[in-house]
Each structure stands twice: as structure tokens, then as C-alpha cells.
Amino acid sequence: MSSAQTQANLVDLYKEKAAATACQIAEFSSFEEAIPHLLSLMEKKAPCELLYEEDVEKGPKGPNGCPTRVQKVVAAPQLGEYYEPLKKAFEEKGYKVVDSGLRHYLAGIDMGIALAEKGIAQSGSCMVNTNNEDTRLATMICEFSVLVLKKSQIMPTVLSMADVLRSEMSASPANYITFISGPSRTADIERVGAVGVHGPLEMHIVLLEG
């Protein structure tokens, strides 16, 4: 079996396992091709509920009795070359796009977009470098979380990533790496499964060629 076939098999396994964790997966040749898909997600999404008082224009109360944010917010820290085309497309639709200072948006963010450094086929997980606080917040306090992953960065197992993990964790005295598998979920309350209690309501993975 060629290396290309092997990687294709890893991608297929990754998609299967990620779907089992309630991730929604979309594949594109480039990030620019993915932007219309992300816009469609935002257009269909209900306005974010504000979890505490924030000095912004508010809309009607949401399902949980909290006021909603009128202007939807997209948090997209550390996207590199992807940021400017994303910002342009989303702002043309009237959305607010930020890449820093997310502590000012702790009441709620509609969509958080982050780059995944690696994917794990065995579990359908994404590994995200979260040294940057804004990246940590973007993946935790949004209602819709989007992780962008290149297919070539999908690995078989966590063990196969040992050298990568060792390199990442020894790069600086304080280092954060986050493994994300699906949207937030818990069964703490009377053993009843609930999604979105401690984090994102939905998890979307954008798989890119290359």
C-alpha cells in the first residue's frame, strides 16, 4: 500500500471517528473555498445568548432566558494567512471578527475558529496549540467551534505523535496543548447526557487538502 493510500485510509478513519463524537465535517481544497460554508453556518445559527451583562446592543431573550447579542461575533485568533480573507467575507455580511482581546467577549462568542496542528484518527480528536490565551478562549467560550485541519496532519494514534508532543511540550516552560473531541458534553446532572453545558454547542471540522 502506498503512502498516499495509507494517508487516505487515515483520513477515512478520522472522519468516521470524529462523526461518532458528534462533529460535523466538511472537506475543501483550500481555506478560501471553505469560507462560504462557514458563512452559511453563521447565517443559520441562532444569535448568541449573553451569559452576563455586556454593553452591547441586545436582542430578544434566547431559550435560556438570557438576552441575545444582535451583532454576531467570530473569534479567529492566530489564523495566519487565513485571517484576512475570512475577516473580509464575514464583515461584508455584518459580522464582527476579532483575533485578540477575547477577554472582552466572555459573555459569549457565536463562532470560534482555530487551527488544529494534528488530528488523531484513532479517536477523531484534534490537537490544538493553545499557548495563546485568545486561542484557548476561542475554543472554549464559543457556541459553534470550528477547527481547521489539513488532511496531511492526521496521525494514527496519540502514541504515534510522541515526538511531536515532546517537541511541543519542551518548547517553553509554560506550554498548553489541547485535545478536542466533539462538542462539550456532560452527564453530571442525574446521569442525563447534555451537550454544550461547559463549552461549544456544535463542533465543526474543516478538512483541507495539502
Instruction: Determine the Cα–Cα distance for residues 94 and 92; give it in Å rounded to an integer.
Output: 5
- Select the more confidently predicted residue: 172 or 69: 69
pLDDT given at position 209: 94
Reported as a pLDDT band with limits 50, 70 and 90, residue 197 is: low
pLDDT given at position 5: 59
pTM metric for this prediction: 0.89
- What residue type is assigned to position 177 of the chain? I
- What residue type is assigned to position 79 of the chain? L
The mean of the pLDDT values for the chain is 89
pLDDT given at position 200: 87
pLDDT given at position 3: 64
Domains contained in the chain, CATH given? 3-208 (3.40.50.10420)
- Per residue in 116-169, pLDDT (tens digit) is 999 999 999 999 999 999 999 999 999 999 999 999 999 999 899 888 888 777
Please give the helix or strand (H or E) that residue 42 lies within, else none. helix 31-44
Residue 44 pLDDT > 80, yes or no?
yes
